[in-house]
Amino acid sequence: MNQAIITTKPNEITPQTSQYAYQQVTALVTDSLTSEYSRVMYAHALNDFWAWYDDNGRPALTKAVVNRYKVHLQAQDFAPSTINQRLSAIRKFAKEAGDNGLMPNDIAQSIAKVEGVRTAGVRTGNWLTSSQAQDLLDAPDASTLKGLRDRAILALMLGGGLRRSEVAGLDFDNVQQRDGRWVVVNLLGKGNRVRSVPIPSWTKHAIDVWANQAGISTGRVFRSINKGGNLSGNSMTSQAVQDVVKLYAQAVGFDISAHDLRRTFAKLSSRGGADIQQIQFSLGHASIKTTEIYLGEFQDLTNAPCDALSLRLSNA
């Protein structure tokens, strides 16, 4: 089935469905989106769904099958927000497939009614302390090209709070001087919001050292490096940025993701006295409430209610 996602039965993807067809259908979704961030996230979500779909014998694509996939995601202990993002991608796929005649409208509409997972309370994120963040920043081997690149990536995430997709898509033209300091300008983030992010001098220095050693000054700031330690492309993916964070986090004994460095930026800058509205501007949040969640403002884990209890173990 190379021409359409539906063949003999109008609501069924057959075992003959090719990977090429999956890519075509995924492209229907990503081409309909205006945000680069959303395109990357939706493509990743759909690729994961197709992999699960193949592993489960490619049953008739119905609302019941999508609900079964939701149960699978819940069993993997994904956060509600992650599950809901993946379901949004599938609902978007059903709409585009229906609009393009690749799926009966009644099937597409039923899939669009798959409910997300309710979020109860606020999920606690991970933050690094100042000393932990310094250990992570110092982890790459600055005597190698890859080490210099990775150090610059970590410096940008810790020093500016950028998302991994924003790091991967950063161009040299985005790094400019404004009001006597270095700023990442015209950064297109989530929801197509454009913002400018001030960065510390040590972040700019890390970028400069990497760029000089790599011999690059235009195009994407960060590039892929092969096993021989040489440049092997003109860009790198957001997943590759995630892999960089995971590599050095594990090396220094932390269990964190790329997004946790964004939380760390917010937390450490707040503790250092930065204004919460300015933190919001740097992060590109539409609401200051979201920034407060990043900072843990709704729950004080340092001065917790349990600390006020006058209880103890008598025989401890």
- At residue 142, does pLDDT exceed 60? yes
Which candidate in 163, 164, 223, 263 is catalytic? 163
User: What angle, 0 to 180 degrees and rounded to 10, lies between the N-to-C axes of helices 276-283 and 288-295?
Assistant: 100
Which of the residue ranges 19-28, 89-98, 133-142, 200-209 would you say has the lowest mean pLDDT? 19-28
Burial class (CB in 10 A: 0-12, 13-18, 19+), 86: buried
Burial class (CB in 10 A: 0-12, 13-18, 19+), 308: exposed
259 catalytic? Reply is yes
Residue 189: closest CA among 37, 69, 294, 28: 37
Higher pLDDT, 256 or 119: 256
pLDDT of residue 208: 96
Which candidate in 146, 190, 220, 246 is catalytic? 190
Confidence label for 213 from pLDDT (cuts 50, 70 and 90): very high
Pairing verdict, β 181-188 and 175-178: antiparallel
Angle, vertex CA 184, rays to CA 161 and CA 160, nearest 5: 15
163 catalytic? Reply is yes
263 catalytic? Reply is no
294 catalytic? Reply is yes
285 catalytic? Reply is yes
**Distance between CA atoms of residues 29 and 31, nearest Å:** 6
State the average pLDDT for the chain.
81
Higher pLDDT, 195 or 220: 220
Residue range 128-151: mean pLDDT, rounded: 93
Residue range 7-30: mean pLDDT, rounded: 56
Which candidate in 70, 262, 263, 267 is catalytic? 262
